[in-house]
Amino acid sequence: MSQSAALRERFESAFMPNYGVPPVAIARGAGCVVWDADGRRYLDLIGGIAVSSLGHAHPALVEAVSHQVATLAHTSNLFLHEPEVLLAERLLGLLGQPARVFLANSGTEANEAALKLAIKYGKTHGKTYFVAAEMGFHGRTLGALSLTGKPSIRDQFGPFPIDVRFVPYGDADALKNAVTQDCAAVFLEPTQGEAGVVPPPDGYFRAAREICSATGALLVADEIQSAIGRTGHWFAHQAEGVVPDVLTLAKGLGGGLPIGACIGFGEAGTVFEKGDHGSTFGGNPVSCAAALAVLGTIERDGLLEHVKRAGRMLGDGIAAVDHPLLAGVRGRGLWLAIVLTAERSAQVQAAAQEAGFLVNALQPDAVRLAPPLVITDAEIESFLAALPGILEAANE
């Protein structure tokens, strides 16, 4: 039996069945390439779900994390440390707006902070309910799950202790009707990630800003997947010319180390008072050092421009493929969905793996690509050259 197959068997016996058994046991990586436990090489076009922004084993990340873990790994929030201060200042500088930062360990925790902040804001302003989008994804812990609009992962764990009203994503009129003076906050992704990399119609996010400003609801932008260069901008909302009241970040920020952030703009930055929220590990020095290395490398290496160009090359290249299984491509930057004419994404993922490419069957008819931001032209070309064969194998 291969090493991978043996590990998969042991995984299946030792772990709860919530993930099923993942198809590949990854042993190591370098840049955009990973090797499995049997030494098979794959081009990683999913980057640990839009997390490994700098690819694998990037020297800047290795150096920052190694140095920090050898210096100081943890303080708790009973004490402060320079990496967290530098990171918060760096994020505020990139946002260019008066704001305050809370650091967490994951996306769902960043949204839990945003939700508690919004609940407190609602209580002080007599606002009682929340609005979120159908098929939206905000996380798996109970608060974030209550905002998540995907019935298959939500319904069996309800009822939830907060009143959330769901609207169809991208429909500004429906949003306007749902947001009254009693609405405390609207939670939206600038492009829906888990729903299938679904961008809204132009102007939707600006309309959401106007609707929230008119009633005094907080606009919470969940940029856990869309930020830190993924779309070719530091933050997707910046491309829309919109400033939210609250912003949540995670995935790409730490380049693979766990970190999340909840950022409150203006008055939303001081809703929490001393004692209102906290996290033992949140903002730990090693994750902060990793995030500083990610942000520094994106800037130093001009990766935002690279993502815009490489994303066009990848997207245009996919769109140019002529195959009956291919309906088109959607998304921005290095955050794309290959849209299929039939529900065969699992077959596409398997055929891609067979051909040496890791992609993600996100929806029955959509395959997600979210490669490291450092992917090279030659790597993109190798995938584009293989794509017709992958689609052909998946269509059989």
Ligand X SMILES: *Cc1c(COP(=O)(O)O)cnc(C)c1O
Binding site for ligand X (CB under 6 A): 106-108, 111, 137-139, 189, 193-194, 222, 224-225, 250-251
Query: Would you say 71 is a known binding-site residue?
Result: no
CB nearer to ligand X: pick between 107 and 311: 107
CB nearer to ligand X: pick between 189 and 240: 189
Query: Would you say 15 is a known binding-site residue?
Result: no
Q: How far is the CB of 144 from ligand X (least distance, A)?
A: 6
Give Cα 50 to chain centroid, integer Å: 6
Q: Please state, in angstroms and rounded to a whole number, the distance separating the CA atoms of residues 223 and 157.
A: 25
Q: How far is the CB of 79 from ligand X (least distance, A)?
A: 25
Query: Would you say 228 is a known binding-site residue?
Result: no
Q: How far is the CB of 86 from ligand X (least distance, A)?
A: 23
CB nearer to ligand X: pick between 36 and 222: 222
Establish whether 301 is a catalytic residue.
no
| Residue 140 near residue 281 (C-beta atoms within 8 A) | no
Task: Give the active site residue among 44, 222, 245, 365.
Answer: 222
Query: Would you say 107 is a known binding-site residue?
Result: yes
Q: Which helix (H) or strand (E) holds 171?
A: none
Cross-strand bridge partners of residue 244: none
Question: What values do phi and psi take at 353, rounded to 5?
Answer: -60, -45
CB nearer to ligand X: pick between 187 and 272: 187
Task: Give the active site residue among 102, 130, 137, 272.
Answer: 137
Query: Would you say 223 is a known binding-site residue?
Result: yes
Ramachandran region, residue 89 (left: φ > 0; alpha: ψ -120 to 50; beta: rest): alpha
Please give the sequence-ordered ranges of beta strands (E in DSSP) within 2-154, or none if there are none: 26-30, 33-36, 41-44, 99-104, 129-133
| Residue 395 near residue 56 (C-beta atoms within 8 A) | no
Establish whether 383 is a catalytic residue.
no
Q: How far is the CB of 109 from ligand X (least distance, A)?
A: 7
Establish whether 137 is a catalytic residue.
yes
Task: Give the active site residue among 166, 235, 251, 365.
Answer: 251
Q: Please state, in angstroms and rounded to a whole number, the distance separating the CA atoms of residues 4 and 27.
A: 9
Q: Which helix (H) or strand (E) holds 92?
A: helix 82-95
Residue 54, classed as helix, strand or coil, is coil
Query: Would you say 301 is a known binding-site residue?
Result: no
Residue 225 burial (CB count, 10 A): 28
CB nearer to ligand X: pick between 344 and 368: 368
Q: How far is the CB of 99 from ligand X (least distance, A)?
A: 19
Cross-strand bridge partners of residue 337: 330, 368
Output the known binding site.
107-108, 137, 140, 222-225, 279-280
Output the known binding site for N(2)-acetyl-L-ornithine.
140, 279
Give the residue numbers annotated as catalytic, written as ranges: 137, 222, 251
Output the known binding site for pyridoxal 5'-phosphate.
107-108, 137, 222-225, 280
